[in-house]
Amino acid sequence: MYDTEDFLPLTPEERESSEALRPSRTYWADAWSRLKDDRAAMFGLAVILAVIVLAVLGPVFSRYEYDGMDFNVSNDPPSLAHWFGCDMFGRDLFVRVMYGARISLAVGFIASFISLFIGVVYGGISGYVGGKLDDVMMRVVDVIYSVPAMIYVILLMVVVGPGLSSIFITLGISYWAPMARMVRAEVMRLKNEEFVTSARVAGASSARILFRHIIPNAMGAVIVTLTFSVPGAIFTEAFLSFVGLGVSAPMASWGVLSSDAVPAMAIYPWQLFFPAGAISITILAFNFLGDGLRDALDPKLRK
Amino acid sequence: MVHISRYILRRILSGLITLFIVITITFFMMRAIPGGPFTDEKAIPEFVAAKMSERYGLNDPVHVQYMRYLSGILRLDLGPSYRYEGMTVNELIAGGFPVSCAVGGLALLFSLMAGIPAGVISALKRGKWQDRLAMVLATVGVTVPSFVIASLLVYVLAMRLGWVNVGFWDGISTAWLPAVTLALYPAAFISRLVRSGMLEVLGQDYIRTAYAKGLSERRVIYIHALKNAVIPVITYLGPLTAGILTGSFVIEQVYGVPGLGTFFVTSISNRDYTTIMGVTIFYSAILVAFNIAADICLSFADPRIKLR
């Protein structure tokens, strides 16, 4: 049957040929190298980082306060002293737009993380347990889907009252349905994989399998969904501010700044254009990054 | 045909259940608001408030009020408005909805008329400048908030150039600009859908068969390919309606259109709870109806889809 010759150790040449030529790369390193080559996505990432830096450091280094009024410069057009001009109270618009970035970005990220948390737990349980429970849980999601999210965001805002924390909570508990659907699909795909079986054989509990083994493997898709839900939340906050349910003065998100500027748009158009431009560029950047991440994290989806 | 009518019946039933849930949640959310509906900046005398609570039946236990509201809805009666003295929510909706319907219907039409050809052209000219241009426009349409575009259009077209008048309502002649603005986002989205649908379809065997039979290119593209490429658009019809509904809140305000969206936003700032409730339920009903209609259309358009 077998000869002793079959069990000889490898010669040095044989060993060399069977060794991996390149160091093994993790999934994330691989995705990053794909993302780096995507010019639109890198542009988006750069813009987002720039906006974050300006939002965090800008107001600190500015000569002006976001609520510092100076009636000598009311409604001044953009100049060297006031790059974006001034509003009707003589407040510097540049610092207000940077300060607004803090609020808009905070709304975008915090609301998205709340909806991510709810969606991952909900979709994870629904997909992992399956059966009757899955049916019921997905029925609930269907009902949520059949009413425009904006309407119950507005309803919730009316109930909890305007303010920054109500916006976080309201957006967070209104926009988790897409995340839940996506996570459920991922979990259903992954739960029959061999690594799950081996984890079960090793005696891991269901909760551990779901949250330590399955969910981390679904992270790519979760991150892609997140990149699209952050601008969605920024957008919704701007919309809410526009209909008068946003944060209240003297705080100002981009939405508040834009909606404040609309009545006097004909005379002081720059008061609208700068905050509106900031919203548009940021949302555009997130969309570019999201498209790039989708291609980078899941090459199968690439067309 | 029997199974189709059973399918439709089932969808309508589940739509009604959805609506029931929406009504219940809306009702109890409105009840959860701290302070009564007549809490106002200017204090009203105690006995007036009591009288008004009496008249609107607010002194009854909550479940009695809930049952009364439900039975009202069964009779298609959404109750009186708290703020517009002597008006019912039905009358408010009857006043605003036709206007919103004209703008929204036009927007629906525009978005299909712009989105489908743009998608087809960019798929046929894949990688060429036509494709690039269409996709850049589509990206801008999806990323720039509608109120920004609306304000820009008002600023440029009405204030700088003086080509159009805005801020008042004069029937269809003032409807087209708000409708175009409202259509931008869905048109952008539809063009992306049609483009990817078209690219997928054009690579399939039956298209090659059609060419091999000697059909003209025009016939193959516009009859054979397009039919299947627009199927995703039918699926999008539900979200599209939702988008036009919620988009109208802002667009109507910017353009001064006296539609239902404007009423809804005003009722929010007025804390007119019955109107908020009624309009929410009305919107949900429209959306549920459109979703069902879209699914039925889809089952006719694509026989591969299994009815469940």
Whether residue B40 has pLDDT greater than 60: no
Give the HSE-up count for residue B59: Cα atoms under 13 Å, Cβ half-sphere: 7
Would the CB atoms of A158 and B268 count as touching at under 8 Å?
Answer: yes
**pLDDT tens digits along A243-289:** 777 777 667 888 888 877 777 777 777 777 888 888 888 888 888 88
Smallest Cβ–Cβ distance between A143 and the set B18, B142, B152 belongs to B18
The arithmetic mean of pLDDT across residues B50-71, rounded, is 75
Could you give the domains of chain A? 32-298 (1.10.3720.10)
How high is the mean pLDDT of chain A?
A: 79
Determine the pLDDT at residue A250. 67
Give chain A positions within 8 Å (CB) of B245: 148
* Residue ranges of A 200-239 with Cβ closer than 8 A to chain B: 231, 235, 238-239
Share of chain B above pLDDT 70, in %: 85
Give chain A positions within 8 Å (CB) of B276: 155, 158
Distance from CA of A283 to the nearest CA of B (A): 6
Three-state DSSP class for B80?
A: strand
| Reported ipTM exceeds the 0.85 cut | no
Smallest Cβ–Cβ distance between A147 and the set B22, B151, B265 belongs to B22
Smallest Cβ–Cβ distance between A287 and the set B142, B253, B284 belongs to B142
Smallest Cβ–Cβ distance between B32 and the set A148, A159, A235 belongs to A159
Determine the pLDDT at residue B3. 72
Q: Report how far residue B150's alpha carbon sits from residue A153's, in angstroms, rounded to the nearest whole number.
A: 22
Whether residue B121 has pLDDT greater than 80: yes
B265-270, long-range: CB < 8 A, 24+ apart: B265/A243, B265/A244, B267/B81, B267/B83, B268/A154, B268/A158, B268/A243, B268/A244, B268/A245, B269/A244, B270/B83
How high is the mean pLDDT of chain B?
A: 79
Whether residue B132 has pLDDT greater than 60: yes
Q: Report how far residue A230's alpha carbon sits from residue A233's, in angstroms, rounded to the nearest whole number.
A: 5
Q: Report how far residue B49's alpha carbon sits from residue B36's, in angstroms, rounded to the nearest whole number.
A: 9
Determine the pLDDT at residue A164. 79
Across A53-62, B95-104, B163-172, B281-290, least confident range = B163-172
Distance from CA of B20 to the nearest CA of A (A): 10
B300 DSSP assignment: H
Max Cα–Cα distance, chain A, nearest Å: 100
Assign domain B97-258 to a CATH class.
mainly alpha
Determine the pLDDT at residue A16. 73
Read off the pLDDT band of B68 (50, 70, 90): confident
Contact yes or no for A254/A240 (Cβ under 8 A): no
**pLDDT tens digits along A204-218:** 888 888 888 888 888
Distance from CA of B143 to the nearest CA of A (A): 5
For an interface test with B, which of A156, A242, A279, A289 has the most B Cβ atoms less than 10 Å from its Cβ? A242
Is B291's Cβ below 8 Å from some Cβ in A?
A: yes
Read off the pLDDT band of B143 (50, 70, 90): confident
Backbone angles phi, psi at A291, to 5 degrees: -60, -45
Determine the pLDDT at residue A20. 67
Share of chain B above pLDDT 90, in %: 0
Across A32-46, A255-269, B8-22, B282-296, least confident range = A255-269
Q: Report how far residue A173's alpha carbon sits from residue A233's, in angstroms, rounded to the nearest whole number.
A: 12
Per the structure block, which two tokens stand in for A219?
Answer: 């992270």
Would the CB atoms of A243 and B246 count as touching at under 8 Å?
Answer: no
Read off the pLDDT band of A303 (50, 70, 90): very low
The arithmetic mean of pLDDT across residues A45-64, rounded, is 80
Q: Report how far residue B281's alpha carbon sits from residue B27's, in angstroms, rounded to the nearest whole number.
A: 10
The dihedral formed by the CA atoms of A127, A129, A131 and A132, expressed in degrees to the nearest 10? -100
Contact yes or no for A260/A276 (Cβ under 8 A): no
Helix, strand, coil abundance in chain A, percent, nearest 5: 75, 0, 25
The arithmetic mean of pLDDT across residues B114-126, rounded, is 86
Q: Report how far residue B26's alpha carbon sits from residue A25's, in angstroms, rounded to the nearest whole number.
A: 52
Give chain A positions within 8 Å (CB) of B265: 243-244
Is A140's Cβ below 8 Å from some Cβ in B?
A: no
Would the CB atoms of B265 and A147 count as touching at under 8 Å?
Answer: no
Whether residue B212 has pLDDT greater than 50: yes
Whether residue A151 has pLDDT greater than 60: yes
Is A177's Cβ below 8 Å from some Cβ in B?
A: no
Whether residue B274 has pLDDT greater than 50: yes
Domains of chain B: which residue ranges?
Answer: 97-258
Chain B, nearest residue to A262 by Cα? B151
